[in-house]
Amino acid sequence: MILIGENINIMSKTIGAALRERLPDPIRELARAETRTGMDYLDLNIGPARKDGDELMKWLVDIVQEVTDKKLSLDTTNPLATEAGLKACKNRALINSVSLQPERLEKVLPMAKEYDAEIIGLLWGTDGMPRDANERCMLAVDIVYKANEIGIPNEDIWIDPIVTPVSVDINQVKACIEFMSMLGDIAPGCKSVVGLSNVSNGTPANLRPYLNRTYLAMLMKYGIYAAIVDAFDAELIRLARGEMPEILDLVHRMMDGYNPDISTLSPKEQEYAKSVKVLSGDSLYSHSWLEI
Ligand code: THG
């Protein structure tokens, strides 16, 4: 699986300040650290970046490339910033992201072609968030068609179903899993990607990794290709790299209906089993789901 480090992002307190004040050191240090934990790509999230977004993205790409050879994912909704990043990238870039809003499609799709970049097709339509797996399929077909039309082949398109926090809407959490099981049929050759940590947004920070890991294990049942993840969750990385086959097997059997007697499981298995129940909607989410 391809892992994209999420940690260089403007929402983070220290990195947000470093980006605004153009302080290279904290960002270089983080880029080095994400490289050491084995990330395949680094996501560079500068948010909407309405003011000076192009100058900021170029600055960021340049300083990150001073310390790492990793591929970069350009995460901004400002098309000018995307283009500045594309010009600065030494490796083939990943554009994060292209949604189905006409003005974004018209500006960003041609850039992908011109700069030979890969794209994340974000399933966000003109009516906003899709409501279920079927609406996601319609949006996916639409974005693939429009990308193909200007000469971007399926293997360069990574589809992102948009993960929603489990504390907000469990049906959307389930819909993303269901969508993953359908993607291969509706868009053959396309890749899949999620912003994994979204699932645990709003959950106490010390508990977030349990949800993130278990959701990744569930997505792996349908061969998820890539995930934007916390580069410093060592267990998550081991799971993604196939080093926890027994846990994966337990999670996948539970998704097929197996209902283990929780008390007979090891403490580690219990973390995953309880989290599967929450993420598949069998038990209601509360901040104390691991203690029940
Ligand atoms: N899809 C795509 N791109 C995305 C997302 C997605 N980019 C942004 C986001 N979602 C994925 N990246 C993050 C980055 C940080 C966090 C969550 C998702 C996060 N950070 C902690 C917080 O905000 O509390 C810690 C911040 C810190 O570092 O201090 O939760 O879905 N295509």
Give the tens place of pLDDT for each residue, 153-176: 999 999 999 999 999 999 999 999
| pLDDT of 103 higher than 90 | no
Q: Is residue 205 part of a domain?
A: yes
**258 CA → ligand 1 middle, Å:** 32
Q: 6 C-alpha to center of ligand 1: Å? A: 6
pTM above 0.85, yes or no: yes
CB proximity list for 99: less than 8 A, separation 6 or greater: 105, 121, 122, 123, 124, 125
Q: Tell whether ligand 1 has an atom less than 6 A from the beta carbon of residue 228.
A: yes
Read off the pLDDT of residues 242-282 as tens digits, 9 standing for 90 and up.
999 999 999 999 999 999 999 999 999 999 999 999 999 99
Q: Report whether pLDDT(139) > 90.
A: yes
CATH number, position 32: 3.20.20.20
**pLDDT, mean over the chain:** 97
Is 212 a pocket residue for ligand 1 (Cβ < 6 Å)? no
Instruction: Determine which residue's CA is closest to atom 15 belonging to ligand 1.
Output: 6
Please indicate, yes or no, if residue 261 is contained in any of the structural domains. Answer: no
Indicate whether 69 belongs to any domain.
yes
**How far does residue 111's CA lie from ligand 1's centre (Å)?**
24
Give the residue, out of 7, 9, 120, with the most ligand 1 atoms within 8 A of its beta carbon, to mutate for a pocket test.
Answer: 9
Percent of the chain with pLDDT over 70: 100
Q: Is residue 58 part of a domain?
A: yes
Percentage of residues in the chain having pLDDT higher than 90? 99
Q: Does some domain include residue 281?
A: no
Domain that holds residue 142: 2-240
Domain total in the chain: 1
